[in-house]
Amino acid sequence: MWKTGAKMTKNQILGILYKKKGEYVLGEKIASEIDISKTKVSDEIKLLINEGYVIDSSDSGYRLMKIPNLPLPYEVRRNLHTQYMGHEIHYFKEVNSTNDVARELAENGAEEGAIVIAESQRSGKGRRGKKWISPSGGLWMTIILRPNVPPTKAPQLTLVTGVAVAKTLNEEYDLDVGIKWPNDILIGDKKVCGILTEVKADMGTIDYVLVGIGIDLNFDVDIFPPKLREGATSLKMELKREIQGATLVQRFLQNFEVTYNQFKEGKFPDILREWRRLSKTIGSYVEVHKKGRTVRGYAVGINKDGILILELDDGTLRKVISGECIHIKRKD
């Protein structure tokens, strides 16, 4: 956790270097300001350099030259305007899956709003047992939630998250962002983000919910196998520039906290209204695949529980609770 012990010292040093960005600060001055030894300052500076910060050291002291483009805790925390979301950040270079790390933290009492971020995942998990390719350059993150709602409402959190992601991307970038039911975020007709929600419930109450979010950020999807490549994109490919990961996390956490608070206040119908506005599925002719079976029809809406309503070719309406949805074409 970034708040405690050695990490606190590192953050204090960064705070001082930030304030004096562009100027040298003597090791002695840093040491006396935070009441540690000069050697400790030098050790902590080495750790920061290891994380990617470019810090020049000379007889005049230390000077912060460049901040790495990574969603590092200190970078996310700076200018983060939330009440609780993202106040506890667990950051890793590589993990198997941020959802698995988050599960362990949640089992050990991590608080609502704690997040896990990894630069890459060895075995990232997608929906329905699929593998989620997670190279460095992406945003791989899990949020721990402890909502006081019945477990049956937990799947709604996927839609809550989808709205917050799509809203954030729309606000930050001039792109055609929308949601494919139930939880894929698309730019145009290509997937840029997936959401995996996992729930632990006991005796009719939720213990915790893990909301895993994967956004293809600063890499080219050419590295994906051909089958996945076709339907995928990244923010860097769409915008033809690098994205500031830390800023994106901040903005997302701010939007997510607002939307999630609405959810906890029982305002899911308002969130659904927003979901419908952002939806690329409603009004599309779609195929939904589940357990070897396929249903085809026009997506005419989603109901109050987030269930997809299809109008089949014979005019009958069919509710679809879950499945893999493929957009065939838009209704004119």
Contacting positions for ligand BTN (CB under 6 A)? 97-99, 121, 124-127, 130, 132, 134, 140-142, 184, 194-196, 212-214
The residue among 80 and 95 lying less far from ligand BTN, judged by its C-beta, is 95
Of 113, 261, 143, 160, the C-alpha closest to 212 is 143
The residue among 9 and 279 lying less far from ligand BTN, judged by its C-beta, is 279
Least distance in Å: CB of 215 to ligand BTN?
A: 8
Least distance in Å: CB of 182 to ligand BTN?
A: 10
The residue among 68 and 126 lying less far from ligand BTN, judged by its C-beta, is 126
The residue among 155 and 214 lying less far from ligand BTN, judged by its C-beta, is 214
The residue among 272 and 325 lying less far from ligand BTN, judged by its C-beta, is 325
The residue among 191 and 236 lying less far from ligand BTN, judged by its C-beta, is 191
Q: How many degrees, rounded to 5, is the angle at CA 165 between CA 302 and CA 300? A: 15
Q: Is the peptide bond before 182 cis (omega within 30 degrees of 0)?
A: yes
Least distance in Å: CB of 71 to ligand BTN?
A: 12
- How many C-beta atoms surround the C-beta of residue 83 within 10 A? 8
Q: What is the distance between the alpha carbons of residues 299 and 283, in angstroms, rounded to a whole number?
A: 6
Least distance in Å: CB of 46 to ligand BTN?
A: 30
Q: What is the distance between the alpha carbons of residues 103 and 125, in angstroms, rounded to a whole number?
A: 13
CB 139 within 8 A of CB 214: yes
How far the first Cα of the chain sits from its last, in Å, is 51
Helices 38-51 and 5-19, axial angle in degrees (round to 10):
90
Q: What is the distance between the alpha carbons of residues 281 and 185, in angstroms, rounded to a whole number?
A: 11
Least distance in Å: CB of 74 to ligand BTN?
A: 21
Least distance in Å: CB of 133 to ligand BTN?
A: 9
Q: How many degrees, rounded to 5, is the angle at CA 143 between CA 141 and CA 145? A: 170
Least distance in Å: CB of 96 to ligand BTN?
A: 8
The residue among 29 and 229 lying less far from ligand BTN, judged by its C-beta, is 229
Q: Where are the beta strands (DSSP E) in 155-312?
A: 177-180, 184-187, 190-202, 205-215, 284-290, 293-302, 308-311
Q: Which residue is nearest to ligand BTN (CB)?
A: 194
The residue among 142 and 244 lying less far from ligand BTN, judged by its C-beta, is 142
Least distance in Å: CB of 319 to ligand BTN?
A: 22
CA 222 to each of CA 124, 140, 193, 233: distance values in angstroms, whole numbers, following the listed order? 18, 19, 16, 9
